Amino acid sequence: MASALGQLPNAPLIYVLAQIGFTRIPKMESYWEEFHQAIFDRYPQASIEHIRQIQLQDTSEPSASDSVRWNMLNREKTEGIILAPESLIFHATSYATSDGFFANLEYVLTTLIAVLPKNIEVNKLGLRYIDLLLPSEDLPVDEQVSGKLGSIPLDEAGCEFLRLEEVTRYSTPENGNLVIRHRQSKGADILPGDLFPNNLHHAPLLEREKPTDAVVGLMDYDHYVQLETELKADVVMEKLRALHATNSRAFELTTTPEAKSLWSTK
């Protein structure tokens, strides 16, 4: 496996996720095996995940709801599919280019559409990129992120920095929302809690030895749009590519030239 994801030799990317939300399909279990059979050559590994959610309400007894989703993985466990009655997630910890990622996603989506009932509507599309920022001898994490981002030292008060979390929300040209989460903490970091565990092998960067007692950073670009359109592969892929273009520009604007220079070297 390459030492980094993407085209930069030292790229910070560790995880990519695309989500397609659609009309809830009753008895999805009657379709998923046919779907898995059709993509078996590429994604042979499969497991069924049963989830129970407990809802607490002030005025009534706790209620429980059960759901199921189906996980499929490639042989290397670097790409995966999570199928639920109301959504398809395609995610990866291997990523060379957006063209390659979208080509694999389009294959999966086209295959799924072929086995599902007709007249299904898409109601949400999302694209998410996670970058891990590691300090170098010459470039701490604060200097890899643009703008007024970074920890404020309280050494004079006898306080030691442990963690920083920022969340910024933007509207986007696609009539969507882009949420950028910036996190810094001491020690090794992992994926955000809502994405972990995900059954995929870690990206190479997560396996790299982290600097001792140093601050590492995480940048989370979460771009999504609510819509109503027919579930067609070409329509969905066009909209996801538009989301990607905005994500890419946001990454360029929120990371410094010095950081890009660092990621361009081996």
Name the residue among 135, 139, 136, 128 with its Cα closest to residue 181.
128
pLDDT band for 189, please (50, 70, 90 cuts): low
Model confidence at 55: pLDDT above 70: no
Half-sphere exposure of 256 (CA within 13 A, CB side): 15
187 compared with 92, residue with greater pLDDT = 92
State pLDDT tens for residues 11-46.
899 999 999 999 999 999 999 999 999 999 999 999
63 compared with 179, residue with greater pLDDT = 179
State pLDDT tens for residues 190-249.
677 777 657 888 888 887 777 777 888 899 999 999 999 999 999 999 999 999 999 999
State pLDDT tens for residues 100-135.
999 999 999 999 999 999 989 999 999 999 999 998
Domain ranges of the chain: 13-263
Half-sphere exposure of 151 (CA within 13 A, CB side): 19
Average pLDDT over every residue of 57-68: 65
State pLDDT tens for residues 133-156.
998 888 988 899 987 655 567 778
Between CA 249 and CA 228 the distance in angstroms is: 26
Helix, strand, coil proportions of the chain in percent (round to 5)? 25, 35, 40
